[in-house]
Chain A
């Protein structure tokens, strides 16, 4: 009996050893090392090079997304080339270090995606995940963080973000600059999203795979990119998008907030976030109550321009101590100062031009200012600030500001108008 057992144990031992040995030499399928080994060859580094100095201006990641070798990355990785095609080129560097020059086939500026093509034929490509992915699913993100070399980051799928303008996958994992445009894979190596942004502390975002599939389909027949570049296309996409999401904003159904005696618009849609605060300090002879709302999301246009940011800010000032002349020094100062500047440079935007009027609305009189500037390369788009201050009261006043970026002039006028008409108060 003992012999029999010993023989069985020996046989078992002889069977198990090769398995252990094999597992020591070969990664177990579905583990992180295995995923890295199996799929890293389809991930490439993307460098945008300034042709004059041959120095890289920005870097990112991309991946081979179809049998013909087309590469998907983020629009923001290659946006410099879109804006100044004469000054930059795109180098694609594969895992082995081979470098080829890429051309852009198409961009989706709203979802921050771009499709590139190189002359090199790939050995294979990554597939997209076609089935829905459950929250909590383990994901693996690949990319070149801070140009340190190809890295793999583990994380979890936390569903689509609910209150954003554009659907995004909430990826709980550490994405870092440079990983933008890289793929995030399931254990089976299927792409669920494209790395796009991070808010730190493991909060990261992916562009859903279906947007990349849609762009690949849209550009399927593009053989040679349009000579005129993509700038006009970028302008058109932003224009169409802002028309869509701004339609009806600040209409009569807009939720309201009361900063007595003012009745004001607040959180017009779900993708806004609002905060409120009040300054009542003993050493100050006045009280300031603020209510601030802004969109969470924006569209990257270029390193100094973004579109789709809508922000508005109500400030109620009141006093029981200051006389009218002194209170109006404060009020006037608040109306003239404070966030009266935006980023931008001479090559991309015009300087601001403003108009000021005393305006009689159905609710009373306002001092109203409208300032706007135009995008030089995308001239259908404007940045604008509308600011109004209520007139008439001697010891209270409201300064309300609406700022818009990358919108059409029709929307500058329409939104400012609806916003102005939404400022109501009891006289």
Chain B
């Protein structure tokens, strides 16, 4: 018997995970093995939904008094009965399904090469970003040394970072394979490279800012905020390639991970700061630039502001006396 249509089980991004041919109506959907469409979702009832054909071939979906209800496309309210159009999605439990009739027009065929792939997913992007990263790491290694170095030394330096990055991307690729059945290795490599490049860019900006404007208080807070954003972006990107989570869930996950990491490092930083130490901590970045470009305060201002230093020390002394 020729199929009348198909029920498709979709993942979070709308890709078909499973396709079941419908030979006759009515069709029942649920967890029970007596159904034509069996959905292994614990939030779906054994007998959850029935699709039946009415006059003039109209299809009606009816909720079979399920615990969690049935939701037509984009609907937030559960509906007991609605008319099912070919190609329309609906949700039962945590599973999204779609019905398509055999005469449903398929999407036009894509011409190979004419469609732009997501830039992130392209293997070229991965190669280019990795090469840029390696070159930058070499340059950084060279500029941050002041002893005589050979080309071999400079080239050999970034490989620790690169292999760590490859391992990181590989772990995410493995997770992707398990969750969305694709490795997406190139995409993970690109995302990690972009995050590292952004962090080193932020580092450069931070150093120059510190050099030009050493008096800006709480510059480190801006730094922490910047790193937090990069971390959130990294998690968001990886989750996009490794899961079927919706955009909003990914945002929440990224924000949560970033918040946890940033706040725990801020707390340990604060704990280290409030511990007694005989070490002088000061920002001492100096950059090779013509002195005319450097904003500077007068000698009077410098020693005038040292009064603040004195009152800060007075407070510390009072605190120490009170605690002894």
Interface of A toward B, CB cutoff 8 Å: 283-286, 322, 324-333, 335-336, 340-347, 349-361, 364-365, 367-374, 376, 379, 382, 385, 387, 389, 391-392, 394, 397, 409, 412-413, 416-417, 420-421, 427
Contacts and interface: CB of A to CB of B under 8 A. Distances in A.
Interface of A is mostly: mixed
Contacts of B279: 340-341, 352
B105 interface: no
B215 A356 contact: yes
A416 B201 CA distance: 36
18 contacts: A322-B146, A326-B144, A332-B287, A333-B146, A335-B284, A336-B285, A343-B278, A349-B278, A350-B317, A352-B279, A354-B309, A357-B215, A367-B284, A376-B321, A382-B313, A391-B294, A392-B291, A427-B291
B299 A341 contact: no
Contacts of B289: 391
Contacts of A355: 215, 282, 302, 305-306, 308-309
B298 to A, nearest CB: 6
B214 interface: yes
A314 to B, nearest CB: 16
B291 A352 contact: no
Contact of A353 (B144, B303, B313): B313
A356 B284 contact: yes
A412 to B, nearest CB: 8
Contacts of A333: 146
B214 A332 contact: no
B324 A357 contact: no
B1 interface: no
Contact of B284 (A286, A322, A332, A341): A332
Contacts, number: 161
Contact of A347 (B288, B305, B324): B324
A371 B282 contact: yes
A341 B276 CA distance: 12
A427 B291 CA distance: 10
B55 interface: no
Contacts of B294: 358, 365, 391
B148 interface: yes
Contact of A357 (B143, B214, B312, B316): B214
Contacts of A387: 284
A325 B286 CA distance: 10
Contacts of B144: 326, 329
B284 A369 contact: yes
Contacts of B285: 332, 336
Contacts of A286: 146
Given A326-B143, A365-B296, 16 more contacts: A283-B148, A285-B148, A325-B288, A326-B144, A327-B288, A340-B279, A346-B320, A355-B306, A355-B308, A356-B283, A357-B215, A358-B297, A370-B306, A374-B313, A421-B299, A427-B291
A369 B282 contact: yes
A93 to B, nearest CB: 32
Contacts of B314: 374, 379
Given A344-B278, A355-B306, A356-B283, A284 B288 contact: no
B280 A329 contact: no
Contact of A285 (B147, B310, B320): B147
Contacts of A324: 288
Contacts of B142: 326
Nearest to A390: B291
B214 A335 contact: no
Contacts of A413: 303, 306
Given A328-B288, A340-B280, A360-B297, A284 B306 contact: no
A358 B320 contact: no
A357 B40 CA distance: 66
Contacts of A344: 278
Nearest to B313: A374
Contacts of B276: 345-346, 351
A340 B291 CA distance: 26
A420 B302 CA distance: 11
Contacts of B108: none
Contacts of B146: 285-286, 322, 326-327, 329-330, 333
A336 B313 contact: no
Nearest to B297: A357
Contacts of A354: 280-282, 309
A373 B313 contact: yes
Given A326-B146, A329-B145, A391-B286, A357 B305 contact: yes
B309 A376 contact: no
Given A326-B146, A329-B144, A372-B309, A350 B302 contact: no
B103 interface: no
A416 B305 CA distance: 14
B75 interface: no
Contacts of A391: 286, 289, 291, 294
Given A326-B146, A350-B320, A352-B279, A332 B291 contact: no
A350 B314 CA distance: 9
